[in-house]
Chains A and B, each alone.
Chain A
Amino acid sequence: MASGVRPRVKVPKTASAGEAVTLKTLISHKMESGQRKDSDGNVIPRSIINRFTCDFNGQNVIDVTLEPAISTNPYFEFEATVPESGEFKFTWYDDDGSVYEDSAEITVA
C-alpha cells in the first residue's frame, strides 16, 4: 500500500428531497505516473488510484477511471440528487490492490 493515503469527503449533513447536493472528495496519494526515473535511471513503477466510485444507498452515482496523467492528491467535486435519507459510500481503488473507503450520512428533512 502506498504510504500516507488518507481519503477525505465533504458531504452536507442535510438536504431537501430531490435536491442536488455538492460532494467533494480528496484522497492524499502520490499518483506516481510510471513515466519518471529515479536518480539511477531506473523507472519508478506506476502507482496510482485507477478507479473512484460513489454510491448512494447502493445505487451508483459516479464511476471514474483515473489515468496516470492525473496529478498528486486527486480531488473530485460533483453533484448528486438526494431523494431520501441515506449514506454515500466512496471507494478508491489503488494499483496495488488496496481499496480505500469512506462514507457519509445525509438526512433528508
Chain B
Amino acid sequence: MSVVVKRVTAMLALGGAVLASAPAFADADEDNLVINGDIAIVTEAKAPAHMEYVDTIYSGWRFRSDETQVMQADDFDNPGMIGVENAMEKWAAVDGSEGKSCASCHGDAEESMVGVRPVYPKWNEEAQEVRTLEMQVNDCRENRMGAEKWGYTSGSMVDMVALITSVSRGMPVSVAIDGPVAETWEQGKELYYSRTGQLELSCANCHEDNYGNMIRADHLSQGQINGFPVYRLKNTKLNGVHARFKGCVRDTMAETYSPGSAEFVALELYVASRGNGLSVEGPSVRN
C-alpha cells in the first residue's frame, strides 16, 4: 500500500521507535517498539513457566523488516487502524431487536474495554465454556442486542476485535491456564505439538524448533498471537487468529479445522498462553 512519493530520511525515527539495522543473520532483531511515541511495547520476555523448550519469547514484530516494523510505530501509518475506526462506528450503531448498540451497555470502548484483550480466551462461568473475544462479541450481539451474529472471520468481526484489542496495547498478555480452562489448554497444547498434513508438520516444528530460520522466503517467528488482529501487507486486510491458524494448517497440506471450532479455540488459548508477558500489540502490521 505504501506509495512514498518522497523518501523521508527521518522516517526511522518516527514515533520514538529506535530501529537498528537488521542483523546479518536471521534471529529476532534488537529493535524496540514504541507506538505513537507513547506506548512502550514489550517484544521480548522470559518464557512463561509452562514452556519447556523455549527460554525467551519474542513478538513477531522482531522478525519483520525495518520497513514493516516502522509502520506499526504510528497509528496513522498503521493500516490496521482503518479497521479500528470502522469498528468505532459499529460500536455506536444500534443493531438488532433490542434497540441497543455496544455503547448502550459498555459506554466508551476506550475506557470500558481496557484490559479485556490480555485475558482472552477465558472461561465463561455461565456458559461453562472457554470463550474467545469473537465468541463474546457474538454472544452480546445475539443475546443482548438481538442482532445477527457476525461471521467468525468476517470483516465486521475482525474490525471489532481490533478495536477492543487496540485499547489494551502495551498491557501484558496474561491468559489463565489453570482451573476450569486446564482441560482446554491441554487440548490446545496437544494440537500444538501434533504433526498434521502431508508434510507432517506441527506448529512446534516451525515456530519452536525453527524460529529465526527461513522457510523458503518467509522468516519464521515464534508464532506469537499478541499482535492479532494483524494487518498483513500480503492481503491488505486485518486477519484474525483463527484465519491465520487455518492458513498455517493448510500449509501443512492438511484438512483444516474451521475458524471458531473447539479445536481452534483450544489452540488459541494455548498459543496465547505462550505469549504471557509480551505486550498486546494488535492491530499489528506484518508481511
Beta-carbon contacts under 8 Å, A1-31 to B:
4, 6, 8, 10, 22, 24, 26, 28
Q: A79 and B6: CB pair below 8 A?
A: yes
**Interface SS of A by simple majority:** strand
A10 in contact with B6 given A72-B1, A72-B236 (CB within 8 Å): no
Contacts of B77 in A (CB 8 A): 24, 75
Q: Which residue of B lies closest to A9 (CB)?
A: B76
Q: How far is the CA of A62 from the CA of B6 in the complex (A)?
A: 11
- Please tell me the size bucket of the interface on B: 10 to 19
Binds A, one of B26-34, B38-46, B79-87, B250-258: B79-87
Besides the known contacts A4-B86, A75-B4, 8 further A-B residue pairs in the complex with CB atoms under 8 A apart:
A72-B237, A73-B1, A73-B236, A74-B3, A75-B1, A75-B2, A77-B8, A78-B5
| Cβ proximity bits B1-17 to A, threshold 8 Å, 1 near / 0 not | 11111101011000000
A106–chain B nearest beta-carbon distance, Å: 16
Contacts of A75 in B (CB 8 A): 1-4, 77, 79
Q: Which residue of A lies closest to B4 (CB)?
A: A77
Beta-carbon contacts under 8 Å, A50-78 to B:
62, 64, 66, 70-78
What are 25 inter-chain pairs, A to B, with CB distance below 8 A? A4-B86, A22-B8, A22-B10, A24-B76, A24-B77, A26-B79, A26-B82, A66-B3, A71-B1, A71-B236, A72-B1, A73-B1, A73-B79, A73-B82, A74-B3, A75-B2, A75-B3, A75-B4, A76-B3, A76-B4, A76-B5, A77-B5, A77-B8, A78-B6, A79-B8
B70–chain A nearest beta-carbon distance, Å: 11
Q: Which residue of A lies closest to B236 (CB)?
A: A72
Q: B5 and A62: CB pair below 8 A?
A: yes
Closest 4 A-B residue pairs measured CB to CB?
A72-B236, A78-B5, A10-B76, A73-B1
A105–chain B nearest beta-carbon distance, Å: 17
Q: Which residue of A lies closest to B5 (CB)?
A: A78
A77 in contact with B82 given A10-B76, A24-B77 (CB within 8 Å): no
Contacts of A77 in B (CB 8 A): 4-6, 8, 11
Contacts of B79 in A (CB 8 A): 26, 73, 75
Q: Which residue of B lies closest to A71 (CB)?
A: B1
A98–chain B nearest beta-carbon distance, Å: 18
B8–chain A nearest beta-carbon distance, Å: 6
Q: How far is the CA of A75 from the CA of B231 in the complex (A)?
A: 15
Q: How far is the CA of A77 from the CA of B3 in the complex (A)?
A: 8
Contacts of A78 in B (CB 8 A): 5-6
Q: How far is the CA of A74 from the CA of B5 in the complex (A)?
A: 11
Contacts of A74 in B (CB 8 A): 1, 3
Contacts of A64 in B (CB 8 A): 5
Contacts of B76 in A (CB 8 A): 8, 10, 24, 26
Q: How far is the CA of A72 from the CA of B155 in the complex (A)?
A: 15
| Cβ proximity bits B52-82 to A, threshold 8 Å, 1 near / 0 not | 0000000000000000000000001101001
**Residue among B2, B5, B85 making CB contact with A6, cutoff 8 Å:** B85
B96–chain A nearest beta-carbon distance, Å: 22
Q: How far is the CA of A22 from the CA of B4 in the complex (A)?
A: 12
Q: How far is the CA of A70 from the CA of B10 in the complex (A)?
A: 24
Contacts of B5 in A (CB 8 A): 62, 64, 76-78
